[in-house]
A and B are shown apart, each in its own frame.
Chain A
């Protein structure tokens, strides 16, 4: 079977994990075959868990199908069923979470019942919504089921924000600086002690019993609560201002480079917030800077309270101080514990994300950082060395804190310690008490070895975190503290999502072909690539993009980050993913990974990188859209012929015409797919110079052309359809040319391209080449180079788009040009990347005749009323044809301006106007002539800069 080699048997993620066959009795005692887990989630983790369980010798597991796995779409049947063919182990729920609290409760009961009725003794929840629900976990525990994951104690200790923060502080974990009890502190400052509080309470006639509370803080809070009830002010706005001023002085002293935010507790939607600038933005000594920065606090407190109208008597006037998170990197530490011991397995950097959706996650482990540090030192990159030193230091601190926190919350499974890293500081955000989507990044880097405390030679090694979870769930406290060892120095995960080129959610489409994984590719795809077991054909799969955009996780490893990224690039390069109406972010990943390969593999992007990057890619597309390729080619041809001597003209014309397909072929994929172009421009940035639109090459364009065919996965391949790769007659010319220059390089000692051109222009043969061959060599050079000027278009586009202004600084931070942060430009470029569906009219016409219903049922609200905004794909109305109620969906987005048919059951005719609407995007019809002339004008400029 085609899918077997790298998919079903990849040694990086598959192995015999059974312990019952082991020679050591101690090791055998950790057998887990008596586990019978019920898997209650979907997504890539479900298939992974099934595989790991089977490999551990646990064969009785069951799965829960949700409606999205079975009846919501055709051709979207859970692919896992191709492997799990025993119907008695497949169970069904409408969904995993329920739409509200009651349904949620009901669902938990349902799962418990399914487990009991079918003899399951444990639950595996993956990273589903339920996995971090303390209520769910306690319910499972109460029902006598083993929860494979952190227990309810850990869940609540780490889950409740206040509690977690207190625990973190107690454990010496670095949390974000700030104040969330300003009013309490102000009251304490005013009252000074308990007697003062009691007096205040008495003066204001508050109904509060102070002896019920222990700490002064709790007592103060009680007084405040009573004051809100009695609608009196025990503290004034000025009291609060003074207190927060004091707090700011303290905070700024510790964080002189950060901006802070004042936020009224009743604010929201951007209201009731003010920013305090960082001391470092002021002049003077350090003390003076802090003083100036904090000075505005009382005034700003008044402002925010006035803005949210909380300055009345008895209003809760609390104002929070929060650090303003700006250039942060998102890093997280993998933690494993059994309640007694706790260890970490290095970190992951998840900064490459958009709208909180992670896209590319890369391993951050000590050993790899040390290697990168040594390399940078050897290369004499001072700023880079300093940054890497900081990273090593921060990683150490984070791992250290993660262990302490994990121990404090008695972690008895796996969890993630999430931090943000801002410059030289890091802050703990929260602990995710479950396995994370990106856990493979970690398990590929470190293995865990559990050794017999009495005999260290008696041990076993585990390479899967899911396996570790099962071991911990089954044997818990009996497991000795493991040691970690490096498997791979680096790993990276790309999340393959059903999103369009602008990374917006897309309906999904149908996958009709997905090539088999290549060597070194890890593809967690829920089983989509598992062929039909009976016929060995790829089964088409409908993506539920609008609901769950993640299709698969792609991972690669390497001995350093460069190798890992290059392998990821190779994986994507060779991936053939085809389908109907299919949109994925695969091209985006190809461009992004190669942006890092081409710019600086150690660049430290922040969470704010992706949107500006996308905007830049949009700018590339905007330029590419302007090109008239055929017109440019004619200019190249004409210029070449005009420059050729009379004798050469005819031969040159033949040569150029022979190469038209050779060049034509690479342009469509580059100009149509700006993400692919972004990767190309990043990889080749050192191969050309552009000066005011005029391009000169620092590398032989023939070699670049051959590389480009390779980059596009279009080099000659025996088994690929001819129409997907270089045409054979083009390959002949290209291979001859490549061989020709390889021989020249060899004979002439690898001169630089500019030097080689000089040599070849000379009238006499240089040393190393026979005189008699010289004319033929020059003729071949002229022939092979003919037409290559058309490639000038690519650097030209890059310069026009300002592509190289997004660059990596010496200290590994990334310079983001200000314009790319402009929201207006971002929106505009998103529309260039994915033109929104445009409306052709201002009316919605009946798609068919029948009876019209503006709502789903008599007691439900109407779908559309005047002023309703609808998105493409929303239900507009229902038409009843012969007693069938058909939903009609919006073909584009817009707003209703007038409802023309109102009554339930009105008879409508095909083509009858039903609503007047204002479409979001009005079609601006550009005639073919206008497009042509616009493109010619743009291309003329290119021609004049390059061939004039």
Chain B
């Protein structure tokens, strides 16, 4: 029944009339004859008699104008929206806004038909904070854009920037309004421009409802975070055009569904349905400042900042004492959980490149960002996706005065043809630049592996870290285990020569001996060089911290650095590349 009924001409057999209960003669209606209808009365509280005059008639006209944007579409259009399991823009606003609040609608009747021209802009309350919100009204002209609502949306963006309040977009638009001609395109251009102007000034959260194409995709992706429910599509253009232009047969879900966009990072969050998307906006806003000159909401915590993190100790003990020893993957999000207040944290892009974890959390009540290598997924190597995911997140924290905790446990950037072809150099560079540019309090916590280029580019003192600490399990070296070939070049050459000599007499025994000797060298390498000692001696690491003291150590130093930190707009000059 999910589709509107087609005119009845389908396969059912023609059958003789048989319906005893309802008389054939009456014309069916949905009007309850017993109900009393009542007109809106414009009484002042306490007014006794009511004789509407010219004044009341005028009020009635005003009342109708207020109602018009909500009623313009008519029931059948609304029904069509509902059959697609989508809410109307008014229903969405209700979910997003605080229960006891009314939306403050801006330019409610703007548009030639006085119906708001398929776009609603308003200021609402979310957990008591002012939030600017826009939403396409798909029930009116399919939420399409023309010059009018392009300007309307641009004015909202500008206002949000001026007031310094977060922006939420509820996108549900078929694209430009074709009858409006170039006007629709100009409308988009105006909106693009206004949104770019407030990017970095206020955070913007974009929900992708329905089926958005073209400008309807670019505009939201200009925002800070994109949230996409299941059974929605967005992209440059829909499957129809793709078929006609490229001959490709593809479903909307394969072309621009959440499973596609969440993997590329175009979508930051995938959720079950529309309501979940709006709930997620409420949740995420709780970690974000309203603008670039204030700190994210502080929440005093009942979780002691000096709480011992014994569980990190237990986790590492279990992992590193297991048969695979120091090569055992460790789920870094367990460590993040242990460090955060009450173990609560909020992961960004949780479906993509989980070899790195980006998350918001609170330490001692302060919001921080976590950027952490996760050896539990693909060995925690930094590949293209991970590098861009990190870069994007770090840049966001930089703009909005959020301190960043880097947790390092990686054997390095992922090499290979696939990665080079995809441009790992550019991606890794983006991450490196984002780290160098970071001006908020930024710590590095080395968990285990920090080798070579990955160490060099990952928030160390030279790149601007405020504080670098390391667990005793740290293995900071120029190279990973492969470094044995360089460090013990001579020794290895000797062993290999000896193997050849011995092989003449006993080929099998010689090979075994050689293997054993090389293994001993590898062990020596691990023992002598894969540890924090050299870095400590050079001041590359400030101090060794026991796993059980991690929360305490971080919280103490975070307090220290935040005490003098003044949240302010980023005033650095623009650099090349993003």
Contacts and interface: CB of A to CB of B under 8 A. Distances in A.
Interface in B1-19: 1-6, 8, 10-15, 17-19
A707 to B, nearest CB: 19
B83 A67 contact: no
Interface stretch (B24-32, B129-137, B428-436, B503-511): B24-32
Given A658-B30, A948-B15, A74 B331 contact: yes
Contact of A534 (B329, B342, B375): B342
Nearest to B329: A884
Interface in B377-404: 378-381
Query: Which range contains the number of A residues in contact with the other chain?
Result: 35 or more
B310 to A, nearest CB: 6
Contacts of A784: 30
Indicate the member of A630, A632, A719, A883 with the most B CB atoms within 10 Å. A883
Contacts of B224: none
A660 B80 CA distance: 10
Interface stretch (A225-233, A435-443, A635-643): A635-643
Given A642-B15, A882-B411, A648 B379 contact: no
Interface in A906-948: 936, 940, 943-944, 947-948
A721 B91 contact: yes
Interface stretch (B60-68, B159-167, B186-194, B299-307): B299-307
A757 B22 CA distance: 8
A857 interface: yes
Nearest to B331: A74
Contacts of B99: 719
B17 A534 contact: no
Contacts of B323: 856-857, 859-860
Nearest to A83: B302
Contact of B29 (A641, A651, A878, A944): A651
A884 B381 CA distance: 10
Nearest to B326: A883
B95 interface: yes
B303 A85 contact: yes
B520 interface: no
Nearest to B273: A723
Contact of A782 (B2, B23, B82): B23
Nearest to A859: B323
A780 B30 contact: yes
A889 interface: no
B275 A723 contact: yes
A535 B303 CA distance: 12
B250 interface: no
B299 A578 contact: no
A643 B23 CA distance: 10
B82 A643 contact: no
Contacts of A663: 1
B278 interface: yes
A804 interface: no
A729 B275 CA distance: 19
B275 A724 contact: yes
B114 to A, nearest CB: 22
Contacts of A783: 28-31
Given A779-B29, A780-B30, A661 B82 contact: yes
Contact of A70 (B5, B13, B28, B314): B314
A947 B8 CA distance: 15
Given A631-B10, A722-B87, A883 B411 contact: yes
Interface string A758-776: 0011010000000001011
A71 interface: yes
Contacts of B414: 882
A311 interface: no
Contacts of B22: 760-761, 778, 781-782, 785-786
A750 interface: no
A722 B17 contact: no
Nearest to B333: A74
Contacts of B95: 721-722
Interface string A245-260: 0000000000000000
Interface in A707-735: 719, 721-724, 727, 729, 733
A655 B29 CA distance: 7
Contact of B337 (A77, A760, A773): A77
Contacts of B115: none
A652 B24 CA distance: 11
A664 B1 contact: yes
Contacts of B23: 760-761, 763, 778, 782
Contact of A780 (B29, B308, B310): B29
B133 to A, nearest CB: 16
A866 to B, nearest CB: 24
Contacts of B2: 629-630, 664
B11 A936 contact: yes
A948 B33 CA distance: 32
A539 interface: yes
Contacts of A743: 32, 34
B28 A578 contact: no
A848 interface: yes
Contact of B14 (A535, A642, A644): A642
Given A92-B311, A783-B29, A637 B8 contact: yes
A92 B30 CA distance: 66
A71 B30 contact: no
Interface in B79-116: 79, 82-83, 85-88, 91, 94-95, 99
A881 B415 CA distance: 12
B201 interface: no
B379 A881 contact: yes
A537 interface: yes
A87 B18 CA distance: 76
Contacts of B82: 661, 727
A329 B286 CA distance: 52
Given A736-B32, A740-B34, A71 B334 contact: yes
Contact of B272 (A578, A651, A776): A578
Contacts of B25: 645, 648, 778
B20 interface: yes
Contacts of A658: 30, 75-76, 79
B274 interface: yes
A946 B79 CA distance: 28
B525 to A, nearest CB: 12
A651 B4 CA distance: 17
A779 B26 contact: yes
Nearest to A739: B32
Contacts of B14: 642
Given A71-B318, A77-B343, A783-B28, A884 B327 contact: yes
A760 B20 CA distance: 11
A532 B342 contact: yes
B75 A884 contact: no
A660 B94 CA distance: 24
Given A82-B342, A723-B274, A639 B12 contact: yes
Interface in A178-236: none
A41 interface: no
B237 to A, nearest CB: 25
A880 B328 CA distance: 10
A86 B302 CA distance: 9
B5 A637 contact: yes
B480 interface: yes
A775 B33 CA distance: 10
Closest 9 CB pairs of A and B: A857-B323, A884-B379, A722-B91, A776-B33, A721-B275, A638-B8, A782-B28, A77-B343, A783-B28
Given A534-B303, A638-B8, A721-B91, 7 more contacts: A81-B342, A513-B279, A537-B286, A658-B75, A721-B274, A776-B33, A883-B481
24 contacts: A74-B333, A75-B337, A77-B337, A513-B279, A534-B303, A535-B344, A629-B1, A635-B12, A643-B18, A644-B24, A651-B28, A656-B5, A661-B82, A721-B87, A737-B32, A739-B32, A779-B28, A848-B378, A857-B323, A881-B378, A882-B412, A886-B376, A943-B12, A944-B13
